[in-house]
Amino acid sequence: MDLKNKGEFGFIDLIKEHFKAPEGMLGIGDDCAVMPCGEGELIYSTDMLMEGVHFLRDAASPEDIGWKSLAVNLSDIAAMGGVPQATFLSIALPKDAQGEWAERFIEGYAGLSHMFNVPLLGGDTTSSLRDVAINVGVLGRVPSGGGLRRSRAVAGQGIYVTGNLGDSAGGLKAILNGWENTPEVLSLIRAHHRPLPRISEGRKLAGSGMVGAMMDISDGIASDLRHILKASGVGAEVYLDKIPVSECLKTVCSRHGLQAEVLAVSGGEDYELLFTAPQGIEDRLDFPVYQIGKITSQPGLRWLMDAQEVDMDITGYRHF
Stretch that binds Mg ion, among 76-84, 128-136, 143-151, 202-210 (CB under 5 A): 76-84
Side by side, the strands of the sheet bearing 120-127 are: 33-37, 40-50, 133-143, 83-93, 120-127
Residue 318 to residue 28: CA distance in whole angstroms: 17
Q: How far is the CB of 174 from ligand ADP (least distance, A)?
A: 23
Site for ligand ADP in 200-229 (CB under 6 A): 218
Q: Which of 67, 170, 183, 169 is nearest to 116 (CA)?
A: 67
Specify whether the CB–CB gap between 295 and 230 falls below 8 A: no
Given CA atoms 203, 205, 208, 210 in this order, what sign does their dihedral have?
negative
- The bridge status of strand 308-310 relative to strand 133-143 is unpaired
Residue 3 touching ligand ADP (CB under 6 A): no
Q: How far is the CB of 319 from ligand ADP (least distance, A)?
A: 9
Residue 51 touching ligand ADP (CB under 6 A): no
Residue 272 touching ligand ADP (CB under 6 A): no
Pick 87 or 187: Cβ nearer ligand ADP: 87
Phi, psi values for residue 181, rounded to 5°: -80, 70
Stretch that binds Mg ion, among 36-44, 89-97, 216-224, 270-278 (CB under 5 A): 216-224
Q: How far is the CB of 218 from ligand ADP (least distance, A)?
A: 4
Residue 30 touching ligand ADP (CB under 6 A): yes
Q: How far is the CB of 75 from Mg ion (least distance, A)?
A: 6
Which of 3, 7, 14, 15 touches ligand ADP (CB under 6 A)? 15
Q: Which of 65, 8, 88 is nearest to 193 (CA)?
A: 65
Contact pattern for ligand ADP over residues 58 through 97, marking x by CB under 6 A: ------------------x---------------------
Residue 43 to residue 32: CA distance in whole angstroms: 6
Stretch that binds Mg ion, among 22-30, 71-79, 149-157, 183-191 (CB under 5 A): 71-79
Neighbours of 262 (CB within 10 A): 17
Amino acid at 208: S
Which of 51, 76, 269, 270 touches Mg ion (CB under 5 A)? 76
Residue 94 to residue 111: CA distance in whole angstroms: 23
Size of the site for ligand ADP (CB under 6 A): 9
Residue 10 touching ligand ADP (CB under 6 A): no
Q: How far is the CB of 65 from ligand ADP (least distance, A)?
A: 17
Residue 141 to residue 147: CA distance in whole angstroms: 9
Specify whether the CB–CB gap between 156 and 280 falls below 8 A: no
Stretch that binds ligand ADP, among 26-34, 118-126, 132-140, 248-256 (CB under 6 A): 26-34
Pick 46 or 90: Cβ nearer Mg ion: 46
Pick 41 or 76: Cβ nearer ligand ADP: 76
Residue 29 touching ligand ADP (CB under 6 A): yes
Stretch that binds Mg ion, among 64-72, 125-133, 179-187, 212-220 (CB under 5 A): 212-220
Binding partner of residue 270 among Mg ion, ligand ADP, none, CB cut-off 5 to 8 Å per kind: none
Interacting residues with ligand ADP (CB under 6 A): 12, 15, 28-31, 47, 76, 218
